Amino acid sequence: MSKNYADTSENTTDNAEKDAGKQKDKTFKRRDYINRKTRQAYDEKKRIAAHIVDNYINDFDSVMLDAGSTIELIAEEMFKKKKYLSVLTNSMAVYAAYYEAYGKNPLMGNKLHITGGNYVDEYESLLGEGAKKSVNDFCFNVVIIGTSGLSGVRVDGGIFCHGADEKPVKETLLRKPTETRLIVANWEKFGKSDTCSFGVIEQIKGGGVANAVIVTSKPPDNINNTQRGTYEKEVFEMKDLGIQVIEV
C-alpha cells in the first residue's frame, strides 16, 4: 500500500514539473524579429547593458525602460544587481527578465509596472494610446530608449525606429522630463536611418534633462575608412550639441 502511494506521489510530482515547464514556455514565446536583433552584436550589447546598470542606475531609482534587444539585456542585468527599483516598461521582454530574476531572488524588492496599450507581437511590446498615457502618468528619474539608427549629420537625420507603431511612444519618452536620458545604440547605428524618425538629436538633451547620454560600443579596428569616418563625424556632432557619447 505504502509503495503504491509513493509511486503515485512521484508520478504526480513529475507531471507537475512537466506542466510547470510547459507553462513557463507559454509565459513568453520569443519572436523572430527580437531574437535576430538580440543575436546581432550580442557581446557589444552586453557591454553596453553592464555599463549602464553599473554607472547610471542606483538602488531606489524610478526607471522607464523602452522596448528593444539591448534594453532586454539591461533589464536582465539590472534586476540581478539593483534593489528597490520602481520600473515602468512597455516591453514584455523586460517583464520576462523580471519574472526570471524575481523567481531566483524575490528579496531584491524591485517593483515592475506594465503600461497599458495594444500588444504588438513583432516587437514584443505594448504600444498605442494606452502605453502613451501610462508613460505620461509615471514619474521617473532615469529613462532608457532604444533606437534602430541615429544621425545628426545626414540631411534626413534624427533618431529612428523600425516601425510606425513604435513612434508615438518613443516620441513621448523623448519629451518626458527626467534627470537622466539614455539612448542605447551600438556603433553600427551611427549615421543609419530607418523607417520612422521619432525625434532629432538635439531632443536627447531637451526638457531640462541633467544628463543626456548615448551609450555605444567602440568600433572594431578592422572597419573600413568610410565606416570609421561616418562614425567619427556623428560622434563629433553629438558631442558638439552637448550630448555625452560613452564608448564601452
- Helices 69-81/42-56 angle, 10° precision: 40
Question: What pLDDT digit, counting tens, does each position of 122-159 carry?
Answer: 889 999 999 999 999 999 999 999 999 999 998 788 99
Q: Which helix (H) or strand (E) holds 225?
A: helix 225-240
State residue 196's pLDDT score: 95
DSSP sequence for 8-53: HHHHHHHHHHHHHHHHHHHH----HHHHHHHHTTHHHHHHHHHHHH
Give how far Cα 6 sits from Cα of 3, 42, 108, Å. 5, 47, 37
Dist. CA 78–CA 125, nearest whole Å: 19
Dist. CA 194–CA 136, nearest whole Å: 26
Q: Is the pLDDT of residue 224 over 70?
A: yes
Q: Which residue has the higher pLDDT, 5 or 181?
A: 181
Q: How close are the terminal C-alpha atoms of the chain, in Å?
A: 65
What architecture is the 32-247 domain classified under in CATH? 3-Layer(aba) Sandwich (3.40)
Summary count for the chain: helices (H), strands (E): 8, 12
Mean pLDDT, range 102-124, rounded to an integer: 93
State residue 107's pLDDT score: 92
State residue 6's pLDDT score: 42
CA-based nearest residue to 83, from 51, 113, 61, 54:
61
Question: What pLDDT digit, counting tens, does each position of 162-174 carry?
Answer: 999 999 999 999 9
Question: pTM to 2 decimals?
Answer: 0.85
- DSSP annotation of 212 reads E
> Which cell numbers hold the place of 63?
526607471
Q: Which residue has the higher pLDDT, 163 or 35?
A: 163
> Which cell numbers hold the place of 188?
553600427
Q: What residue ranges do the domains of the chain occupy?
A: 1-30, 32-247
